[in-house]
Copies of this chain bind each other. A is one copy, B any other.
Amino acid sequence: MKRGSKGAYIYGFAGGKADGRADMKKLLGGKGANLAEMTNLNIPVPPGFTITTEACLKFYESGKRWPDGLEAELGRNVQWLENVSGKGFGDPANPLLVSVRSGAMVSMPGMMDTILNLGLSDRTVQGLIRKTGNPRFAYDAYRRFIQMFGDVVLGVEHKAFEQALAAKKRQHGVTNDPDLPAEALQELVGEFKAIVHRHAKVDFPDEPMEQLRLAINAVFSSWNNERAITYRKLHGIPDTLGTAVTVQTMVFGNMGNKSLTGVGFTRDPATGANRFYGEYLVNAQGEDVVAGIRTPLPAEQMKKDFPKVYDRLLSVGKRLEKYFRDIQDLEFTVEEGDFFMLQCRSGKRTALAAVTVAVDLVKEGLITKEEALLRIQPTQIDQLLHPTIDPKAKVKVIAKGLPASPGAAVGRVVFTAHEAVELVEEKGGRVILVRQETSPEDIAGMAAAQGILTARGGLTSHAAVVGRGMGKCCVVGCNDITVREEERWFEVGGLVVKEGEYITLNGTTGDVMLGETPLVKPQLTGAFKQVLQWADAARRLGVRTNGDTPQDAKTAREFGAEGIGLCRTEHMFFGDERLPVVREMIVAKDTAARRKALAKLLPFQKQDFIGIFRAMEGLPVTVRLLDPPLHEFLPNTPEDITRVAQQLGISEQALTDTVHRLHEFNPMLGHRGCRLGIVFPEINEMQAQAIFEAACELTKQGVKVLPEVMVPLVGHPKEFQAAKLVIDRVARETMARSKVAVPYTVGTMIEVPRAALVAETIAQDAEFFSFGTNDLTQMTFGFSRDDIGKFLPTYLKDGILESDPFAKLDQDGVGALIRIAVQKGRSVRKHLKVGICGEHGGEPSSIEFCHRAGLDYVSCSPYRVPVARLAAAQAALKEKKK
């Protein structure tokens, strides 16, 4: 029978002809659209139809009722399916059985539910027995249907069925389901129905159309179950997509030894190698492959045992790969020798495979370089640079924090930086440093550790920023854990983890796991380099790095950084030789004493700059003047005060007074940034002198140096002017003394909202802007990055915010200030160089925003440079597309 005209809500597919197409994913879901396309390609697909996402949305609009006409359309389509399949829905002689599956535009694995074998009842099961001559198969199909339907549609707990099944196996003295005889399964059917009646207070529906209606409702409703909502929230999928429902004739891979079922990838999803990768089971249903009760066989075995099926599978796979121009994830079933495709979709792949496949497809002429670039998730690039947890490993997640710096790390728990260094250096062990929060004094311990875990702090906390800078796995703000540093243990949900025990961190997901988990080392392949080369050709944004040491500079340069966008000079103030001098400077009673201490710091700073300038030869280096409040350099505890006072040769009372005097209620909004250099211009003088003496010395040696001096935390043009005055004077004097000229510029961070609002006054004097989006985000939202952990989880859970604004740039609010500043700044200085050096400079969606906002470059931690190069390319390509 001919199908007739397509209805409003249902699209059919059968016998080489489908109402839908692959590009109708929004309407038919990924699954439905691809089934339609495969049908059109004359690939054998069991006939069926798809109810559109529009029907689902109307269902919600009208208070969970079906839209007008859907009922009638469904009836017509069931009839059509009966005709096409030559079976009858509820026909006890030749029953039509169908699967009902959800399918949204975006693949949401595990989030939606499936029902198989719908159409079975006490009457139709007899037909199945007669047709197959296999009562065991038929009753097994029936009890599975009741179980799935009971669980998904009627909300009966899975466990109840499992217990009955287990009891039955005990009763029959068997271990595995397949060993249960037909009679036992028949009994189970009765018992399962009783379970349904007991739990759901309804009789199990016997009428197939009623079964189908309830199943469709269940799929619609599952769009808004908690798991689905959470998944969408986590993956940024709009709630307004809705799901489609595909109803498809059942085929059975478990009809005997000429039946089989399996899954496959047209290329290796782990490595990207161009060879078929698949698994299958003989005489089994799809779910058996997934459930892992029997061990599936590798595709190579099929080549021997079912060579025709194998050839068919590979040729279908290649055809689909060519058609869809991407690696395909396939589901297939062979029913008594007849081959059917049940699903095809773009295959999920590892980062390594994503890059390899993209490059190979370009070589094979299937896709362009631009398409290849757009296909790779920038975050996948990040994975390639860090160790990852072996996908085969079993892990025990004990807590979840914020994923602050990607990769995985394994080590013994230590609670102090000192112990971290000791354990690693003296005993050669691997450690994870666990702290309430970290401070600059922990840096040596952080460097020694494999990874860092903190209970406090957000994505721009000290631990997070330093961790990323070091390319080191880091999980922060793990509120679940209570850390007792002094007592050398932490606790989470009643579990106490003591010093020396192994834990594993996943810095990409924020998972904290107990035990020593095997890791996979990163691999940088030729394809990786190829992709980044293409990216460089495609992007307009420059990519620099945030780096404070010659080592950072070298690493980043190897990763392709085109300069340093943020060199934080305060990181040079720590270190055993320097800290006492810095403290001497801070407790100085007057300017003269302060100058004396600063003079001792000068040679250190100068050497730092020489190292960095040399490593970045020929590339610009943006040096930020001292930023943190001075109290960060002072001791906190009474014991430390006693010790440091002795070192400094002053009384404890005097040091306590200084600590007290410098204490701040809100240090983030306190005496820091350019405010330091305005109250103590001699600090700016020393730093400028160190910069320009280093630059002059290297210039004399023939090293090309391009210093850009950056004034932090400017909010008023006069603040910038005051700082620039000192910098320019020292530059002039130093160059005159050295008898050499160094080209340099002086610019400012834009990190205080006011700076953006009056940018046209600041740009009168400032030669470049660099957005410090960490602080800008803090002040625009009024969110302390160190305290956000108290409410951010609720905000994300309740959907107040879609993402952590310290991770992804808030384009509406902070972004508005960025646009204002760029526009105002360039209104008075047309070619004002504008960059970003906040942590957002390495986050793909933020990079895309920076591209659109007309920035000149982004700057990010060394290990994010490759990510940024790709993201910048994608931003340019997306713009081109429009």
Contacts and interface: CB of A to CB of B under 8 A. Distances in A.
A533 B670 CA distance: 44
A567 B775 CA distance: 31
Interface in A644-702: 657, 662, 664-671, 673, 675, 678-679
Given A722-B798, A813-B757, A791 B675 contact: yes
Contacts of A817: 753, 757
A489 to B, nearest CB: 15
Interface string A496-525: 000000000000000000000000000000
A665 B462 CA distance: 12
A241 interface: no
Given A718-B799, A784-B670, A794 B679 contact: yes
Contact of A791 (B678, B758, B783, B814): B678
Nearest to A754: B813
Count class of interface residues, chain A: 35 or more
Contacts of A122: none
Contact of A669 (B679, B778, B794): B778
A780 B795 contact: no
Interface string A798-831: 1111000000001011101100000000000000
Contacts of A716: 781, 800-801, 813
A751 B790 CA distance: 20
A668 to B, nearest CB: 4
A73 interface: no
Contacts of A754: 780-782, 810, 813-814
A779 interface: yes
Contacts of A801: 716, 718
A786 interface: yes
A856 interface: no
A752 interface: yes
A787 B719 contact: no
A679 to B, nearest CB: 5
A757 B783 contact: no
Interface in A702-728: 713, 715-716, 718-719, 722
Contacts of A482: 657
The listed residue with most B CB atoms (<10 A of its CB), out of A668, A753, A778, A798, is A753
B779 A775 contact: no
Interface in A422-450: none
Contacts of A779: 669, 753, 779-780, 782
Contacts of A758: 812-813, 816
Interface in A736-784: 751-754, 757-758, 761, 775, 778-784
Contact of A722 (B775, B781, B782, B800): B800
A757 B786 contact: no
A719 B798 CA distance: 10
A193 to B, nearest CB: 40
The listed residue with most B CB atoms (<10 A of its CB), out of A666, A778, A799, is A666
Contacts of A782: 668-669, 673, 713, 715, 751-754, 775, 779
Contacts of A678: 791, 794-795, 798, 800
What 5 A-B pairs are tightest by C-beta distance, nearest first? A669-B784, A754-B813, A666-B784, A671-B790, A670-B787
A524 to B, nearest CB: 38
Contact of A757 (B775, B780, B791, B799): B780
A183 to B, nearest CB: 52
12 contacts: A662-B790, A665-B786, A666-B667, A666-B669, A669-B783, A673-B782, A679-B790, A716-B813, A718-B801, A753-B779, A754-B813, A758-B816
Nearest to A721: B800
B757 A787 contact: no
A816 B755 CA distance: 11
A836 to B, nearest CB: 18
Contacts of A780: 715, 752-754, 757, 779
Contacts of A719: 800
A779 B758 CA distance: 15
Contacts of A757: 780, 812-813, 816-817
A870 B673 CA distance: 40
Contacts of A679: 790-791, 794
Contacts of A671: 787, 790-791
A790 B752 contact: no
Given A678-B798, A679-B791, A757-B817, A668 B670 contact: no
Contact of A665 (B715, B787, B794): B787
A753 B782 CA distance: 8
A680 to B, nearest CB: 9
A753 B814 CA distance: 9
A796 to B, nearest CB: 11
A778 B669 CA distance: 8
A662 B479 CA distance: 12
A761 B813 CA distance: 11
Contacts of A668: 665-666, 669, 782, 784
B775 A752 contact: no
A667 B667 CA distance: 10
Given A722-B798, A810-B754, A812-B758, A781 B666 contact: no
Given A667-B666, A779-B780, A781-B752, A718 B787 contact: no
Contacts of A662: 790
Contacts of A718: 799-801
A361 to B, nearest CB: 41
Nearest to A720: B800
A451 to B, nearest CB: 23
A60 B752 CA distance: 36
A664 B713 CA distance: 22
Contacts of A787: 664-667, 669-671
A684 to B, nearest CB: 13
Given A715-B813, A754-B814, 9 more contacts: A662-B790, A664-B790, A668-B784, A670-B784, A678-B791, A752-B780, A754-B810, A757-B813, A779-B780
A670 B790 contact: yes
Interface string A234-246: 0000000000000
Contacts of A715: 780-783, 813
A152 to B, nearest CB: 32
A713 B782 CA distance: 8
Interface in A137-178: none
A812 B667 CA distance: 25
Contacts of A812: 757-758, 761
Contacts of A814: 754
Nearest to A437: B665
Contacts of A713: 782
A247 to B, nearest CB: 38
A763 to B, nearest CB: 14
Contacts of A799: 718
Nearest to A800: B718
A842 to B, nearest CB: 23
A715 to B, nearest CB: 5
A666 B666 CA distance: 4
Contacts of A753: 753, 779-780, 782, 813, 817
Contacts of A673: 782
A757 B820 CA distance: 10
Contacts of A675: 790-791
A782 to B, nearest CB: 4
A230 B670 CA distance: 26
A667 B666 CA distance: 7
Nearest to A751: B782
Interface string A341-369: 00000000000000000000000000000
A723 to B, nearest CB: 10
Contacts of A794: 678-679
